[in-house]
Amino acid sequence: MGAVADAALEAGGRVVGVMPADLVSQEIAHPGLSDLRVVNSMHERKWAMAELADGFLCLPGGAGTFEEIFEQWTWALLGFHSKPCGFVNVEGYYEPLREAIANMVRHGFLQPQYGEMLVWAADTGEALRRFEAYVPPEPKWNVSPVEQRY
């Protein structure tokens, strides 16, 4: 995350960080952010990020990366938001995940439109073009995002 923030700042972008107070107190926060929003928990962090973001683009990462993108994808398919979720599939990093999601559909654990709503791209430029053209499927449930705060 730090490398992405550095690159965005160097390019003249604005970078907003959202971090739980416990991590800020351990001096893990990036010192050069345009805006740092301190929250009480990881749940509040993800909700704040969902409110701030126009979409969710996942670069290769570990367990935390998977947890965060899966929650946003789940929120999107349930109708908590209608923002695109996607993966930059650098050197095929996400191919096993893509196959696992296709397997969920094949076995009836995921409706096809919710597997197809994910954006897959080889690079960030392609991902952003696909985000601009994104049309969300009908949500699984009729939910008001404002009423669903933690």
Say what the pLDDT of residue 150 is: 44
109-118's contacts with Cβ under 8 Å and 24+ in sequence apart are: 111/140, 113/137, 113/138, 114/77, 114/140, 117/73, 117/76, 117/77, 117/84, 117/85, 118/73, 118/85, 118/86, 118/87
Across the range 124-140, mean pLDDT stands at 94
Those residues whose C-beta lies under 8 Å from the C-beta of residue 28, and which sit 6 or more positions away, are 19
Across the range 135-147, mean pLDDT stands at 75
Residues 72-112: pLDDT tens digits? 999 999 988 999 999 999 999 999 999 999 999 999 999 99
Say what the pLDDT of residue 144 is: 64
Give the three-state DSSP class for 39.
Answer: strand
Say what the pLDDT of residue 1 is: 80
Domains and CATH numbers, the chain: 1-52 (no CATH), 54-138 (3.40.50.450)
pTM of the predicted model, to two decimals?
Answer: 0.86
Residue recorded with tokens 């923002």? 83
What residue type is 24 in one-letter code? V
